[in-house]
Amino acid sequence: MTGCVALVVCVATLTACIVAAGASELSITTIKQDPYTMSRGSELEGYCIDLISELSKKLGFTYKLHLVKDNRYGVKDSSGNWNGMIGEITRGDADLAVAPLTLTAIREQSVDMTTPFMQTGIGFMLRRDLASEESSFSLLSPFSTDMWVGVLIAFLLTGLCIFLVGRISPTEWAEPDTEEHSFTLLHSFWYITGALTLQGAGPHPKAPSGRLVSAIWWLFAVLLLASYFGNFNSVMHTNKHVIKSFEDLANQDLIDYGTFEAGSTMLFFKNSNNPIYRRIYENMERKKSYVANMEEGIRRAQEGNFAFIGEAVSLDLAVARYCKLYRSQEVIAMRAYTIAAPLGSPLVKNLSIAILQLSESGELTYLRNKWWASSCVGADRAQTSEALHPHDLLGLFLLLGLGLGVGLLLALLELVSRAHNQAKDGKKSCCSVLTSELNQRFCNKGESAEQDGSDKSKA
């Protein structure tokens, strides 16, 4: 009940102030910056537009928005005059400035500022692979998990195919009753393992079908190893320069970094007594690695070997839209965005209370999620390196599958041809001869015959 009475008093006070000033609506200045204020046709939209709309509903005032003429936030010149939105407030050209306006001591001396509607700090962003964690399993990094699973399946299928071709092909195993089978299941896998290590593991296939499968597997192994070692070199080179903090940034010279020239972020590093931050400022001054605007900072960060230093909320927006970028977890020099009003303005108290109410009701969080929504949904954001995926080598896997299929088909054709000739000579049914051949090659009889033959030879 007390809260309701306080809100009524605030609304009444604000209304009285507006009437006393003889104005029907407040003049509000803002500045174009994505996603705070953006153009949509002839209208404006964004976080700040929604914020001032919610505040007007709570406090019951009308307003008229306009963009600041010089497109500046507000800096004091040598003569003590302000430009930008702060200048419009001090000159009386605007009643409020609603924008991502940083609360600073020097601004607080010239204008009144409300309770912050957003907290932020200084961070940096760079390409995601430059901020990757070093892995204890870096030998596996060149291939993704799906890729390793695909290689394992290809290995198992090829070993099984070599085994089947060796069993089926009459050229490979002419007399199942008297000859030992060279390509056992164990030897088949050992044979293709030798191909993966670029070593031979005899005996080698004699049949055309076995040689085809063997050749296709050797080609697959050579191209797979070439892809692995090529990407392995890239991953190892990347992981040598992992950047996770400002200290990491200051202690290396391979990656450049910069921020807006003459901005509040640059002034923080310039005036800091921290040796790490001073070193960062001196490096930016020496290399003149400043950027003119946010777009240039994003572009250079995407190109690689550059870290853009700026306010965390702006970097979060870039990361939400450009999936290859990463924002550092370390945030320093916490600061806040507020609404500015003329000195002594009674609007400030009422606006501060309304902002706190919006925060407590979760409305500010809703607006943050609305305008900072990520467009990288479904992207593999956790991937820290450019690991190869199965679709990257899809043609190679298809070639292997085709080779295995053709090899098995050739082996079957060899066996069918032999069965046909035997059936013709013995005046038997081709199907019965073929069935008998398959039984000899795959059933226990063939194995027992091999065992009996080996026992007799030992005796």
Q: Report pLDDT digits (tens) over 275-311.
A: 999 999 999 989 888 888 888 889 999 887 899 998 8
Co-location of 18 and 98 in the same domain: yes
Percent of the chain whose predicted confidence (pLDDT) is above 70: 83
Inside any domain, residue 380:
no
Closest CA to 407 of 213, 170, 235: 213
Annotated binding site: 100, 102, 107, 264-265, 311
Domain end, chosen from 287, 315, 333, is at 333
Model confidence at 147: pLDDT above 80: yes
pLDDT score, position 124: 92
Closest CA to 47 of 431, 358, 360: 358
Co-location of 328 and 348 in the same domain: no
Separation of alpha carbons 312 and 125, rounded Å: 9
Q: What is the pLDDT of residues 389-421, one digit of tens each?
A: 888 888 888 988 898 888 888 888 887 877 777
Inside any domain, residue 99:
yes
Inside any domain, residue 406:
yes
pLDDT tier at 175 (50, 70, 90 boundaries)? confident
Q: What is the pLDDT of residues 8-21, one digit of tens each?
A: 444 444 444 443 44
Model confidence at 78: pLDDT above 50: yes
pLDDT score, position 274: 92
Co-location of 255 and 231 in the same domain: no
User: How does DSSP classify residue 180?
Assistant: P
SS3 141: coil
pLDDT score, position 237: 56
Inside any domain, residue 64:
yes
Inside any domain, residue 386:
no
Model confidence at 354: pLDDT above 90: yes
Length of the chain: 459
pLDDT score, position 238: 53
Number of domains in the chain: 3
pLDDT score, position 243: 80
Model confidence at 51: pLDDT above 90: yes
Separation of alpha carbons 191 and 205, rounded Å: 10
Co-location of 341 and 329 in the same domain: no
Co-location of 350 and 395 in the same domain: no
Give the N- to C-terminal CA distance of the chain in Å, as an integer: 107
Type of residue numbered 409 = L
Co-location of 131 and 92 in the same domain: no
pLDDT tier at 450 (50, 70, 90 boundaries)? very low
Q: What is the pLDDT of residues 181-217, one digit of tens each?
A: 777 888 888 888 888 877 766 777 888 888 888 889 8
Q: What is the pLDDT of residues 228-248, one digit of tens each?
A: 888 777 666 555 557 888 988
Co-location of 131 and 276 in the same domain: yes
Whether this prediction's pTM lies above 0.85 is answered by no
Q: Which residue has the higher pLDDT, 347 or 204?
A: 347
Inside any domain, residue 352:
yes
pLDDT score, position 196: 80
Q: Which residue has the higher pLDDT, 383 or 132?
A: 132
Co-location of 29 and 116 in the same domain: yes
SS3 334: strand
Co-location of 200 and 216 in the same domain: yes
Inside any domain, residue 382:
no
| Residue 278 belongs to domain with CATH number | 3.40.190.10
Annotated binding site for L-glutamate: 100, 102, 107, 264-265, 311
pLDDT score, position 118: 92
Residue-averaged pLDDT of the chain: 80
pLDDT score, position 340: 94
pLDDT score, position 115: 93
Co-location of 280 and 327 in the same domain: yes
Co-location of 130 and 277 in the same domain: yes
Percent of the chain whose predicted confidence (pLDDT) is above 90: 24
Co-location of 57 and 18 in the same domain: yes
Neighbouring C-beta atoms of residue 358, cutoff 10 Å: 19
pLDDT score, position 230: 81
Model confidence at 88: pLDDT above 50: yes
Range of the domain at 68: 2-120+337-371
Inside any domain, residue 381:
no
